[in-house]
A and B are shown apart, each in its own frame.
Chain A
Amino acid sequence: MTGSRLRSTGSRLGGSVVTRAAGERADQLAGRAFVRELARRGFPYLLLAPTLAYLLAFQIYPILYNLWLSLTDLHLLRSPVPRFIGLQGYGDLLARDPNFWPIFRNTFVWVAGSTVLQFAVGLAGAILLNSRVPLRAVWRGLMLVPWVTPVVVVGITWRWIYDAQFGLLNAYLRSAGVIDQPVVWLGNALTAWPALLLASTWKGYPYMCLMLLAGLQSIPKELHEAAAVDGAGGAQQLWHITLPLLRPVATTVALLATVLTWNNFQMIWVLTEGGPAFATSVLATYVYTKGFVFFDLGSGAATAVISTLFIIALAVVYQRSITRRWETEVA
C-alpha cells in the first residue's frame, strides 16, 4: 500500500489527527518499502562486492598501473622518478632492443612446442586409459604425479637429470654407449630447447590427458559400435568419430595450455634462468629480467603489455576459429 493511498483514506475518515497519524504511518511504510526494495535489489551487489573489490585491487588496478608504467621511463637507478615518454618505450623495445625479437621467437617455440607435445602425449594417454587396461585406476592415479608436483621441484629434478657432469641422462647414455663425451643439455642451443620442452611436456601432459579422458568418456559407445558394425577399423573410428567429437574439449584445453605455457615463467627460470645469454629466454622471463635484474621497470612493463596483447590476440583468433567451425557444423 502506498503513502498517498493511506493519506486519502485518512482524509476520508475526516479527523485531522487521524489524517496526520495516517500520513506518518504511510511515510514509515513507504520508507520500509524502499529499504526492502533496496535490500532486494542491492543484495546481489553486496554478494558480488568482495569479488569485485578483489578484481579491482588485484587485477584491474595492477593492469592499469602496468599500462601507465609502460608509458614512462621508470628505471630504479637511471630515472627513479617516472617521466611520461608515451610510446617511446615500445619503440625502443621493438626497434632497438637486440634481444626482443629472438626472445619473441623463443616464446613461440616454447608455447607451440609445449602445447603440441602435451596434447599429443595427453591424447595418447587418454585413449590408453579409456581402454580396458589392467590396473587402470592405478595408472590414472600415477599419471597425475607430475601434475601435482610443484613446478619448482620438477624444474630442479630435471636440472639434475640434465646436468652435464653428474646428470642421470648423460650417465645412462654413456653406459649404453650412445655418447662418449658428456652433453651439456641446457648449455647448447641445439639441445636446450628439446630438453626444456621434454620437461614441460612431462609436467603438463597429465592435465591434457585428464581433460581429454573426460571428453572421451562422454562419447556415446553406440557410435563406435555402429561404426564397427559398418566395418570401420580402429584408426578410422579414431579419425572419423573420436577426434571430431573430442574437438570442443580439445580446443578448450589447447587454448588453456597455450595461455598457461605462455606465462610459464617458473620452469624456464628454474632450469636455465633464460640463459645461457638469453638463448632460452621467453617473454615471461624477459619481463622479469628487465624489471628486476636491470631495474628497468618502464621497459619491463612495456614488454609485459606486448606479451599480454599477443596472448589475447592468439586467444581471440583461437576462439573465433572454434566458433566459426561450430556454427558451420550446426548449419
Chain B
Amino acid sequence: MSTQRWLVAILAVSLLLGTIPDVQAQRAPIALRVVFPGTSEPERAYSLRLKEVAERRFPDIRVEMMYIGWPELERKLAVMLPGGDIPDIVMQQEATTLVGMKALEPLDDYLRQSTRLRRDAFFGGVWNFSVYDGRLYTIPILAIGYGLVVREDLLNATGFKLSDLATWEDLKRAARAMTRGEVYGYGYPLGLPRFAWREGPYIAGYSNNVDISDTSEAAKPRYLEVLRLFRELKPFMPPNAKVMGLRDAFQAYALGTIGMMPSGSFFVANVYPMNPKILAHTRAIPYPRGPSARAPWAPVANAGWAIFAASRNKAAAWRVLEEWTTPENLTEQVALINLPPRNDLDITRVAVRAASFYPEAAVDNRRILNDFVAAIDAYGRPMGKINRREEIEVVFQQVMIRLLDGELTPEAAYDRIKAEIDRIKAGR
C-alpha cells in the first residue's frame, strides 16, 4: 500500500511538472517580426541595436529582423501579405501602395492614447508625409530632402560657381561645360522606372511648379518645359543612362564620371562606401528653378515605421515604435542616414555619431547634410503621394526613353504620358 502511495505521489508530481511548460508557454515572449529595408553593414548593425533596445526595454518581446532591400520591399510584401505571411512592423518611405492595399494600421488612436509620443515633437512637413487621406500611417524616423548634387571642383574648373546654378538655363550651360571626355555633366538613372521618375523629371518638376503626375491642361505647359529640359540635357548624360539604376549612377558619380545628378539626402550613405574622397568635392543645392517658377522647390519626404493591419501583436508593436522613435534612439538612425524628423534631437550628438559612421568624411558628410537642410528649410515642399505610382513609373520610363532617343517630340511624349497616366488613374 505504501508503495502504491509513493507511486501516486510520483504520478501527481509528474503531472504537475507536466503542466509547467504550459505555464511557460503562457509567458512566452511576444515575437515581433520587423521588416527592415536597410541592407548595408552600418544599417544592419543599427537594426541589431534596435532589436537590443526593444528587448532590453520590454523583456516580454523578442524582435526578429527581416532584411529586405528597398527595391524589392513592395514586391516581396505583395507576395507575403496575400499569402497570410504577415510581419508586424515595416519601415516605409512613400506608403501609398501599402495604404492602398489596406495593409497598414492607422496609428491615430495609438498616438492619441500615447504618453510617450507627441506629434508636436516632429517637424510639420515631415510629419505630414506620414498622413494619407487624413489618417496617420507611419511614425517618421528620418526626413528625406531631394535636390541636385554637384561636383564643385569640376564645376569650378569650367568657370562656374555653385551660386551660378540658379535656373535651368544655368544648369544646361554647366552640364555642357562639364562634359569632357569620360566625364558627363548630368546623371539621370533612366534604367529603372522608380529612378527614371523620381531622380529626374519628378524632382526637376518641383522646381518648375509642376507635379509630373498632374496631367491637367493647366499643368501642361510646365510639364512640357520639364520634358524639353531633359531632351536638351541628353547630350550631357552618360551613354549608359538608359540602363542605369540609382546604384549605377552613384557608382559613376563615385568614380568621377558624373558632374551633377539629382539625389536625396541618402546620397552620402550610398556613395561613401564606394569612394569617400569624392565627398570632399560634393555640394547639394536645391534643383535650379525652371522658367515657370520663381523659386527652386525641394521635395521633402520621410521614412517611418508602420504597423501591419493584420498583425497579431499591434499593441506590442506600438510599444516598440514608441521606444524606437525617442530622441535617444533616433540619434543613431539620423546620424547613419539622412536628416532629423524631430525638432528635439541633439544635433551635436548626431554629428558625433555620424563621424563614427563616416570617419573618412565626417566634415564632408556634415556639410552635405547641412546643404540639404538649408535647401529644405528655404524651399522644402512635401512630396506628393501618387496612387498606383509603380505602374505610372513604368509607362513614364518607356516614354522618356523614346523621348531621349529622339523618337518622340516633347509634345508627342506628353500626349502619351497623359494618356497612360489618365488610364491608370481611371483604374483601367
Seen from chain A, the residues whose Cβ lies within 8 Å of a Cβ on chain B are 76-78, 80, 163-166, 181-182, 184, 186-188, 272-273, 275-278, 289, 291-295, 297
Q: Give A276 to B244 CA distance when docked, in angstroms.
A: 10
Determine the residue in chain B with the shortest Cβ distance to A289: B394
B335 within 8 A of A: no
26 contacts between A and B (CB under 8 A): A76-B100, A77-B101, A77-B388, A78-B388, A80-B102, A163-B240, A164-B243, A181-B239, A184-B239, A184-B240, A184-B242, A186-B243, A187-B191, A187-B240, A273-B192, A275-B191, A275-B193, A276-B242, A278-B398, A292-B79, A293-B75, A293-B391, A293-B394, A295-B97, A295-B101, A295-B390
Cross-interface CB contact of B240 among A80, A165, A277, cutoff 8 Å: A165
Is A276 within 8 A of B390, CB to CB? no
Output the least CB separation between B159 and chain A (Å).
Answer: 26
Say whether chain B's binding surface is mostly helix, strand, loop, or mixed: helix
Cross-interface CB contact of A76 among B82, B394, B401, cutoff 8 Å: B82
Chain B residues whose CB sits within 8 angstroms of the CB of A297 once the complex forms: 82
Is A165 within 8 A of B238, CB to CB? yes
Chain A residues whose CB sits within 8 angstroms of the CB of B390 once the complex forms: 293-295
Q: Give A278 to B257 CA distance when docked, in angstroms.
A: 28
Output the least CB separation between A115 and chain B (Å).
Answer: 26
Is B401 within 8 A of A295, CB to CB? no
Q: Give A251 to B170 CA distance when docked, in angstroms.
A: 63
Chain A residues whose CB sits within 8 angstroms of the CB of B257 once the complex forms: 165
Cross-interface CB contact of A164 among B75, B239, B397, B401, cutoff 8 Å: B239
Seen from chain B, the residues whose Cβ lies within 8 Å of a Cβ on chain A are 75, 78-79, 82, 97, 100-102, 182, 190-193, 238-240, 242-243, 252, 255, 257, 387-388, 390-391, 394, 397-398, 401-402, 427
Residues A165 and B97 in contact in the complex (CB < 8 Å), given A76-B82, A278-B398, A292-B78: no
Output the least CB separation between A186 and chain B (Å).
Answer: 5
Determine the residue in chain A with the shortest Cβ distance to B395: A277
Is B192 within 8 A of A182, CB to CB? no
Closest 8 CB pairs of A and B: A164-B240, A277-B398, A187-B242, A187-B243, A77-B100, A292-B75, A277-B401, A184-B240
Chain B residues whose CB sits within 8 angstroms of the CB of A295 once the complex forms: 78, 97, 101, 390
Chain B residues whose CB sits within 8 angstroms of the CB of A294 once the complex forms: 390-391, 394
Determine the residue in chain B with the shortest Cβ distance to A165: B240
Output the least CB separation between B162 and chain A (Å).
Answer: 26
Q: Give A275 to B427 CA distance when docked, in angstroms.
A: 24
Q: Known pairs A187-B191, A292-B79, A294-B391; list 20 more (Cβ under 8 Å).
A: A77-B101, A77-B388, A80-B101, A80-B102, A164-B243, A165-B182, A165-B239, A166-B255, A181-B239, A182-B239, A275-B191, A276-B243, A277-B398, A277-B401, A292-B75, A292-B78, A293-B391, A294-B390, A294-B394, A295-B97
Q: Give A163 to B398 CA distance when docked, in angstroms.
A: 21
Output the least CB separation between A52 and chain B (Å).
Answer: 23
Determine the residue in chain B with the shortest Cβ distance to A273: B192
Chain B residues whose CB sits within 8 angstroms of the CB of A165 once the complex forms: 182, 238-240, 252, 257
Is A164 within 8 A of B79, CB to CB? no
Residues A276 and B79 in contact in the complex (CB < 8 Å), given A77-B100, A80-B102, A295-B390: no
Chain A residues whose CB sits within 8 angstroms of the CB of B102 once the complex forms: 80
Q: Give A297 to B388 CA distance when docked, in angstroms.
A: 14
Q: Give A281 to B240 CA distance when docked, in angstroms.
A: 19
